[in-house]
């Protein structure tokens, strides 16, 4: 009998992945941090707080006890917010079997350490590369839950780990591609959220398609430059985890990061925006960490720098655009 697949995190993304996993058959469990939310999901068979309108299948077990939930798991998928990842991994590691595969579905850069999410997991757990992979790519949770055709990426430095986790989640309308470039995939997944905030700001300022196209192109250039400086592969950022995710998050109506940007462009304060949001917009936290990481490795990231300044240093959105346009003229292509 196959071992359970466990999704850790009862937000929209974790719930959607768990719903999808049940379509493959076998035992699937979802860990939800809040016991009251867990009970609500069990009783109503719907996550009304984070993924309303999507039925929780009868064969999906909901549990608020982390140790019990991950016990005996064959695959554990981490789908918690980036600022909670370290603590959750610290708690669950003693419960994992030595051969449990861990798939990191969290996107971001840790604020204090400037580590990628897989680095946080490895530091806390010591899980070897042969059992560790990351998941990224263009995928709105609601559409995955609804079964819309979706293609994403599983990245692992160990080919065997990538293949096992690809098989564990690829089914029906969700197709996973393998990629050995963990760095490129993680940087693409983290930084696209920052550019998406910028894209929303442009919409809030009522700028048109010319401006959006320029932002998307130059944003990808920035992301690629940082990924390469850290050891990633340029071609990765031309694929699903780079351009694909960037197009989705910057242009899709379901993008929380883009929604934050739209509100900022229309003059709302960050505090007011976050106060009414139940779900996390990872780009807010990632923007400052991305700028710090870029400075550490000597990479210039003018878009990310302006986004962080709008978010945390009260730079007016129109002034941020003016700053970008006033930069020194240069060649387009050098990284």
Same domain for 173 and 201, yes or no, is no
Residue 312 has pLDDT above 90, yes or no: yes
Between 55 and 333, whose confidence is greater?
Answer: 55
In this prediction, residue 278 carries a pLDDT of 83
On whether both 121 and 65 belong to a single domain, the answer is: yes
CATH number (domain holding residue 104):
3.40.50.720
134 confidence band (pLDDT: 50, 70, 90): very high
According to the model, what pLDDT value does residue 265 have? 97
Spatial distance between the Cα atoms of 129 and 150, rounded to a whole number of angstroms:
26
The whole-model pTM stands at 0.96
Residue 257 sits in a domain of what CATH number? Answer: 1.10.1040.10
Pick the last residue of a domain from 151, 180, 209. Answer: 180
**Residues 189 and 241 both lie in one domain:** yes
From 107, 192, 278, 330, the catalytic residue: 192
Same domain for 166 and 230?
no
* Same domain for 156 and 31: yes
State the average pLDDT over residues 103-132.
97
- In whole angstroms, what is the distance from residue 66 CA to residue 64 CA? 6
Average pLDDT, the chain: 96
Residue 333 is predicted with a pLDDT of 80
Say if residue 176 is in the same domain as residue 188.
Answer: no
pLDDT at 335: 58
Residue 281: C-alpha distances to residues 134, 222, 255 (Å): 19, 20, 9
Query: 234 — alpha (psi -120 to 50), left (phi > 0) or beta?
Result: alpha
Of 129, 158, 180, which residue sits at a domain end? 180
Q: State yes or no: pLDDT of 305 exceeds 80.
A: yes
Instruction: Identify whether residues 103 and 227 lie together within a single domain.
Output: no
Contact 317, 228 (CB under 8 A): no
CB 81 within 8 A of CB 11: yes
Dist CA 225 CA 94 (whole Å): 38
278 is catalytic: no
Which of 150, 180, 210 is where one domain is finished? 180
Q: Which residues on neighbouring strands pair with residue 179, listed in sequence order?
A: 155
């Amino acid at each position: 009998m196959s071992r359970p697949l466990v999704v850790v995190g009862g937000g929209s993304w974790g719930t959607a992945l768990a719903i999808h996993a049940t379509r493959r058959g076998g035992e699937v469990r979802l860990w939800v941090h809040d016991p009251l939310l867990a009970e609500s999901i069990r009783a109503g068979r719907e996550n009304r707080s984070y993924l309303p309108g999507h039925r929780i299948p009868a064969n999906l077990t909901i549990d608020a006890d982390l140790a019990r939930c991950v016990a005996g798991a064959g695959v554990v998928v981490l789908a918690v917010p980036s600022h909670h990842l370290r603590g959750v991994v610290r708690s669950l590691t003693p419960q994992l079997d030595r051969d449990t595969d861990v798939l990191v579905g969290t996107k971001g850069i840790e604020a204090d350490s400037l580590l990628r999410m897989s680095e946080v997991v490895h530091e806390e757990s010591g899980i070897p590369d042969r059992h560790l992979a990351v998941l990224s790519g263009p995928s709105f949770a609601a559409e995955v839950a609804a079964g819309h055709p979706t293609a994403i990426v599983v990245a692992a430095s160990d080919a065997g780990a990538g293949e096992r986790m690809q098989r564990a989640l690829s089914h029906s309308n969700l197709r996973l591609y393998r990629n050995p470039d963990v760095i490129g995939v993680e940087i693409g997944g983290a930084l696209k959220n920052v550019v998406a905030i910028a894209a929303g700001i442009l919409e809030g300022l009522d700028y048109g398609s010319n401006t959006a196209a320029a932002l998307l192109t130059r944003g990808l250039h920035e992301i690629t430059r940082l990924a390469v400086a850290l050891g990633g592969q340029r071609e990765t950022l031309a694929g699903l985890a780079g351009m694909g995710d960037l197009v989705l998050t910057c242009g899709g109506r379901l993008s929380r990061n883009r929604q934050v940007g739209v509100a900022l462009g229309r003059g709302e304060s960050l505090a007011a925006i976050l106060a009414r949001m139940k779900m996390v917009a990872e780009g807010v936290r990632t923007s400052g960490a991305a700028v710090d990481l870029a400075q550490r490795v000597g990479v210039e990231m003018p878009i990310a720098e302006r986004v962080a300044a709008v978010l945390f240093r009260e730079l007016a959105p129109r002034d941020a655009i003016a700053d970008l346009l006033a930069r020194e003229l240069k060649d387009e292509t050098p990284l």
